Chain A
Amino acid sequence: MVDREHVQMLPKPPVSKWQAEVNGLKSEILVESNAILLDVLRDKVGTLGVKRGCDMGTCGCCSVLVDGEPRLSCLMLAEEARGRSITTVEGLADGHHLHPIQTCFAEAGGSQCGFCTPGFLVVCSALLEENPEPNKNEIKDAIEGNLCRCTGYQQIVEAVEMAAEIKRSDESPSNLTTPSSDPHPVGPDEPSLPPGDAR
Chain B
Amino acid sequence: MSGAPRQSFDKTRKDGKRVAGQQDFGVPGSGGSSPQSKLQNIDNIPMSQGGQKKQPRGPHVHDQHITGTSIGKRTPLVDSNWKMTGQARYGDDIRLPGELIGKILRSPHHYATIRSIDTRAAEALKGVVAVATGKDSVNSFGVLPVTKDEHALAQNKVRHVGDLVACVAACDEATAIEALSLIEVEYDILDSIHDMEDGLEDSEHPIHDRGKYHIGESNIQKRVFQQFGNLSSMDEAAASSEADWTFAGLHHGFTEPHAVVAHWDPTGRLTVYTPQQVPHYLHRALSSVLDIPMHQINVYRTFVGGGFGGKSDPFPHEMCAAILARKSGSPVRICFDREEVYWINRGRHPSRIQMGVHADDEGRIAGIETDALIDGGAFASFGHVTTYYNGVLHTSPYEIGGFHYTGARVWTNKPASGAMRGHGAVNSRCAVEVGIDEVSEKLGLDPMTFRLANLLPPHSRTITGFRITSTGMRECLAKVREQSGWDKKFRNLPFGRGIGVGCGFFISGSGLPIHWDPENFPHATVHLQCDMDGGVTVHTGAAEIGQGSDTAIAQAVCEVLALPLDMIRIRSQESDTAPVDLGSYSSRVTFMNANAAIRAAIDLRDKILKATWELIGYHPDQLVLGDRRIYYKHDPAIGVSWLEAVHKAQADSGSLIASGSYRTPPMGGVHKGAAAGLAPAYSFSAYVAEVEVDAETGFIKVVKAWAAHDCGKALNPLAVEGQIIGSCHMGMGQVLSEEMKYGRNGHLMNPDLLDYKIMSVHEMPEVVPIIVESNDPEGPFGAKEAGEGPLLPILPAVCNAVYDAIGIRPDELPLTPDRVHKMIEKKCKELEIDDPLELPNPSFEPSALQQKISERAEEHAERDLQRDLLKDRTAYVNGVLFGFDPELPLIEQDEGWREAITPEQEDLIEDGKRAARAWKHAERRHRGDD
A109 and B719 form a contact (CB under 8 A): yes
What's the least CB distance linking B38 to chain A, in Å? 14
B304 and A113 form a contact (CB under 8 A): yes
A54 and B338 form a contact (CB under 8 A): yes
- How far is A186 from B631 in the complex, measured between Cα atoms in Å? 25
Can you name 8 A-B pairs with beta carbons within 8 Å? Answer: A1-B184, A92-B85, A114-B84, A149-B306, A149-B729, A153-B761, A194-B641, A195-B629
B86 and A88 form a contact (CB under 8 A): yes
- The CB with the most chain A CB atoms within 10 A, among B34, B85, B725, is that of B85
Closest to A193 in B: B27
B754 contacts chain A at the CB level, 8 A cutoff: yes
B255 and A115 form a contact (CB under 8 A): yes
Closest to A196 in B: B637
Q: Which residues of B contact A106 (CB under 8 A)?
A: 76-77, 80-81, 83-84
- How far is A187 from B88 in the complex, measured between Cα atoms in Å? 28
B767 and A152 form a contact (CB under 8 A): yes
B639's partner among A50, A148, A195 (CB-CB below 8 A) is A195
Interface size classification for chain A: 35 or more
What's the least CB distance linking A142 to chain B, in Å? 9
A131 contacts chain B at the CB level, 8 A cutoff: no
B29's partner among A53, A88, A105, A193 (CB-CB below 8 A) is A193
Name the interface residues of A5-53: CB closer than 8 Å to any CB of B.
6, 8-10, 47-53
B764 contacts chain A at the CB level, 8 A cutoff: yes
Q: Which residues of B contact A48 (CB under 8 A)?
A: 86, 89, 93, 95
Q: Which residues of B contact A198 (CB under 8 A)?
A: 25-27
Name the interface residues of B68-94: CB closer than 8 Å to any CB of A.
76-77, 79-90, 92-93
A165 contacts chain B at the CB level, 8 A cutoff: no
- How far is A64 from B631 in the complex, measured between Cα atoms in Å? 52
A114 and B76 form a contact (CB under 8 A): no
Name the interface residues of B140-185: CB closer than 8 Å to any CB of A.
174, 177-178, 181-182, 184
B722's partner among A117, A155, A199 (CB-CB below 8 A) is A155
> Which positions in B face A, CB cutoff 8 Å?
1-3, 25-30, 33-35, 76-77, 79-90, 92-93, 95, 118, 121, 174, 177-178, 181-182, 184, 186, 252-257, 303-308, 335, 337-338, 545-548, 629, 631, 637-641, 644, 718-719, 721-722, 725-730, 752-754, 758, 760-762, 764, 766-767
Closest to A48 in B: B93
Known contacts A90-B86, A102-B85, A149-B253; 11 additional CB pairs below 8 A are A6-B182, A53-B338, A106-B81, A112-B722, A113-B304, A148-B255, A149-B255, A149-B306, A152-B728, A184-B33, A185-B35
A112 and B547 form a contact (CB under 8 A): yes
Closest to A32 in B: B174
Name the interface residues of A144-199: CB closer than 8 Å to any CB of B.
144, 146-157, 174, 176, 184-196, 198-199
Q: Which residues of A contact B121 (CB under 8 A)?
A: 6
Q: Which residues of A contact B86 (CB under 8 A)?
A: 47-50, 88-90, 118
Given known A-B contacts A49-B86, A113-B255, A113-B256, A56 and B754 have beta carbons under 8 A apart: yes
- The CB with the most chain A CB atoms within 10 A, among B86, B95, B253, is that of B86
B547 and A109 form a contact (CB under 8 A): no
- How far is A48 from B261 in the complex, measured between Cα atoms in Å? 15
- How far is A153 from B178 in the complex, measured between Cα atoms in Å? 40
Q: Which residues of A contact B93 (CB under 8 A)?
A: 48
What's the least CB distance linking B105 to chain A, in Å? 14
Name the interface residues of A52-93: CB closer than 8 Å to any CB of B.
52-56, 58-59, 61, 88-90, 92-93
- The CB with the most chain A CB atoms within 10 A, among B29, B308, B718, is that of B29
- How far is A54 from B342 in the complex, measured between Cα atoms in Å? 12
A116 contacts chain B at the CB level, 8 A cutoff: yes
- How far is A186 from B3 in the complex, measured between Cα atoms in Å? 11
A154 and B87 form a contact (CB under 8 A): no
Q: Which residues of B contact A128 (CB under 8 A)?
A: none
Given known A-B contacts A106-B81, A149-B758, A154 and B25 have beta carbons under 8 A apart: no
- The CB with the most chain B CB atoms within 10 A, among A54, A143, A190, A199, is that of A54
Q: Which residues of A contact B640 (CB under 8 A)?
A: 194-195
A129 contacts chain B at the CB level, 8 A cutoff: no
Q: Which residues of A contact B26 (CB under 8 A)?
A: 189, 195, 198-199
Given known A-B contacts A48-B89, A151-B725, A188 and B35 have beta carbons under 8 A apart: yes
Q: Which residues of A contact B726 (CB under 8 A)?
A: 112, 149-152
What's the least CB distance linking B347 to chain A, in Å? 13
Q: Which residues of A contact B638 (CB under 8 A)?
A: 196
> Which positions in A face B, CB cutoff 8 Å?
1, 6, 8-10, 47-56, 58-59, 61, 88-90, 92-93, 98, 102-103, 105-109, 111-118, 121, 140, 143-144, 146-157, 174, 176, 184-196, 198-199
- How far is A122 from B20 in the complex, measured between Cα atoms in Å? 47
What's the least CB distance linking A27 to chain B, in Å? 16
- The CB with the most chain A CB atoms within 10 A, among B174, B726, B766, is that of B726
- How far is A143 from B198 in the complex, measured between Cα atoms in Å? 44
- How far is A184 from B90 in the complex, measured between Cα atoms in Å? 27
A105 and B84 form a contact (CB under 8 A): yes
Given known A-B contacts A1-B118, A55-B337, A61-B255, A115 and B25 have beta carbons under 8 A apart: no
- How far is A59 from B753 in the complex, measured between Cα atoms in Å? 7
Given known A-B contacts A144-B760, A150-B306, A191-B29, A51 and B338 have beta carbons under 8 A apart: no
B178's partner among A10, A52, A54, A199 (CB-CB below 8 A) is A10
A176's partner among B2, B30, B721, B758 (CB-CB below 8 A) is B2
B754 and A115 form a contact (CB under 8 A): no
Given known A-B contacts A6-B121, A185-B34, A188-B35, A115 and B761 have beta carbons under 8 A apart: no
- How far is A49 from B640 in the complex, measured between Cα atoms in Å? 44
B718 and A102 form a contact (CB under 8 A): no
B76 and A112 form a contact (CB under 8 A): no
Q: Give 3 closest A-B pairs by Cβ, nearest first.
A: A49-B86, A113-B546, A198-B26
Closest to A153 in B: B761
Given known A-B contacts A48-B95, A155-B722, A8 and B178 have beta carbons under 8 A apart: yes
What's the least CB distance linking B260 to chain A, in Å? 15
A98 and B81 form a contact (CB under 8 A): yes
- How far is A198 from B767 in the complex, measured between Cα atoms in Å? 49
Q: Which residues of B contact A149 (CB under 8 A)?
A: 252-255, 306, 308, 726, 729-730, 758
Closest to B731 in A: A152
Q: Which residues of B contact A52 (CB under 8 A)?
A: 92, 257, 335
Closest to A114 in B: B83
A112 and B77 form a contact (CB under 8 A): yes
Given known A-B contacts A1-B118, A56-B752, A198-B26, A115 and B90 have beta carbons under 8 A apart: yes
- The CB with the most chain A CB atoms within 10 A, among B184, B255, B644, B730, is that of B255
Given known A-B contacts A8-B178, A51-B255, A196-B637, A115 and B305 have beta carbons under 8 A apart: yes
Q: Which residues of B contact A151 (CB under 8 A)?
A: 722, 725-726, 729
Closest to A43 in B: B95
What's the least CB distance linking A140 to chain B, in Å? 5
Given known A-B contacts A61-B255, A115-B256, A152-B729, A147 and B762 have beta carbons under 8 A apart: no
B256's partner among A51, A112, A146, A199 (CB-CB below 8 A) is A51
Given known A-B contacts A48-B86, A49-B86, A191-B29, A154 and B766 have beta carbons under 8 A apart: yes
What's the least CB distance linking A182 to chain B, in Å? 11
Q: Which residues of A contact B92 (CB under 8 A)?
A: 52
A147 and B753 form a contact (CB under 8 A): yes
- How far is A195 from B181 in the complex, measured between Cα atoms in Å? 71
A59 and B255 form a contact (CB under 8 A): yes
A188 and B719 form a contact (CB under 8 A): no
- How far is A102 from B87 in the complex, measured between Cα atoms in Å? 13
Closest to B727 in A: A152
- The CB with the most chain B CB atoms within 10 A, among A1, A98, A147, A193, is that of A147
Q: Which residues of B contact A116 (CB under 8 A)?
A: 255, 305
B306 and A113 form a contact (CB under 8 A): yes
B758 and A187 form a contact (CB under 8 A): no
- How far is A153 from B766 in the complex, measured between Cα atoms in Å? 10
Closest to A60 in B: B255
A187 and B254 form a contact (CB under 8 A): no
What's the least CB distance linking B554 to chain A, in Å? 15
- How far is A70 from B779 in the complex, measured between Cα atoms in Å? 45
